[in-house]
Amino acid sequence: MYSHTYLRDLITAIFSKMGCSKEDASTIAEILLKAELRNIPSHGILRIKDYHLLWKEGRINVSPEIRIIHETPGTAVVDADNAFGMVGAKRSMEIAIEKASSTGSGWVATRNSNHFGIAGYYAMMALEHDMMGFCVTNANPTVAPTFAVERLLGTNPVAFAVPANREHAFVADFATTPIPRGKIALAEKKGEKLPAGFVQDDKGYTSEDPSVLRRGGAILPLGGDRLHGSHKGFCMSSMVDILSGVISGANFGPFVPPGVAYLPRKDKQVGKGTGHFFGAVRIDGFMPGDEFRKRMDEWIRTFRNGRPAEGQEKIIIPGDPEREAEERILQEGIRLVPAVRDDLKAVADELGIKFE
């Protein structure tokens, strides 16, 4: 069990040693640890091994010049200059917030970026400015559209954060697939079958075998099959890809670069790097902040107090489980599974940083 501050200093040191500025290293540490605290370890310290490998292969720029390459009062395109994803993403969301301050809403499409951790972090940045926050990103293709066998989309998550008053903020942060990739890998490791509706084989038939992903299979869009609305999951994932990849000038669809070092760069590129899209919307662009936050309180209470199904305890408001985890883990400390701790130790050792 490690304290949040110990790991923060360690991770900051690791990324500083790779050549990141102190500020960038501390941004990366903060966002990776936010994933740990919110109990989304698949997007936390687990990733450091791959980030380090990508850096060693020269696939990441640790001294990026992040700049706006096109803008209007309410929109911008940011080139992240191949930075670690968190660095360009945080700056992009800051720009969206600045633009929202003056025009009511700000929208930033980011190209030439990399894997950026949890989308929810950036959406939540808007909350302290009394804004709603929005963030999506495309990702390495693992998902087949409805009726397809090819992997043409990533798990393309959507995050949306809305402030409340006495209640905690509403924070949705979800992949546009029924299940995250990490859970499939875990089932394979354990030799377990998957429930139907998560993956398909290389001919497009639904499969319960998690290993099909390594043999031409694919993850299904949210909905699972056409009958149950997978074309709607495909629509959502497409919207994320168009915003993140097409209008930003990044790569889209099957051309999105991998976020891990063991996968090679793609031959064909249709833009620069991975793409994200950020939005900030001022609450008082619509109604006084106080009035809105009280309405959100009533929305949240209405849903939280809804009658639960038989055998269920309560209705879960988006963001509740992650926030409760954050309060608990901040107290208790962060537990690293042995494999992740060993990987972190190997990176620290290689960079000459003490970790025990």
Q: Alpha-carbon distance 112 to 257, whole Å?
A: 10
Answer yes or no whether residue 287 interacts with its own copies by CB under 8 A: yes
Distance, CA of 45 to CA of 260 (rounded, Å): 14
312 touches its own copies (CB under 8 A): yes
- Site for its own copies contains 122 (CB under 8 A): no
- CB-CB neighbours of 209 under 10 Å: 14
Q: Does 224 bind its own copies (CB under 8 A)?
A: yes
Instruction: Report in angstroms how near the CB of residue 333 gets to its own copies at its nearest.
Output: 28
Task: Tell me how far apart the terminal alpha carbons of the chain are, to the nearest angstrom.
Answer: 11
Residue 232-271 contact track with its own copies, rule CB under 8 A, x = bound: xxxxx-xx-xx--xxxxx--xxx---------------xx
**Largest interatomic CA distance in the chain:** 56
Residues contacting its own copies: total by CB under 8 A: 93
Integer Cα distance of 336 and 191 in angstroms: 22
Other CB atoms within 10 Å distance of the CB of residue 261: 17
Residues 163-222 contacting its own copies, CB under 8 A: 170, 172, 174-179, 195, 197-198, 200, 203-205, 222
- Please report how close the Cβ of residue 225 comes to its own copies at its closest, in angstroms: 10
Q: How far is the CB of 49 from its own copies (least distance, A)?
A: 28
Position 143 contacts its own copies (CB under 8 A): no
Reduced to 3 states, what is the DSSP secondary structure of residue 76?
strand
Closer to its own copies by Cβ: residue 63 or 102: 102
Report the nearest approach of its own copies to the CB of residue 330 (Å): 24
Q: Stretches 3-11, 112-120, 139-147, 339-347: which one binds its own copies (CB under 8 A)?
A: 139-147
Q: How far apart are CA 17 and CA 25, in angstroms?
A: 9
Q: Find the helix packing angle between 22-37 and 4-17, rounded to 10°.
A: 140
Window contacting its own copies (CB under 8 A); options: 6-14, 45-53, 297-305, 329-337:
297-305
Contact 116, 89 (CB under 8 A): yes
Interaction of residue 320 with its own copies, rule CB under 8 A: no
Rounded Cα–Cα distance for residues 179 and 192 (Å): 15
Among 21, 39, 50, 149, binds its own copies (CB under 8 A): 149
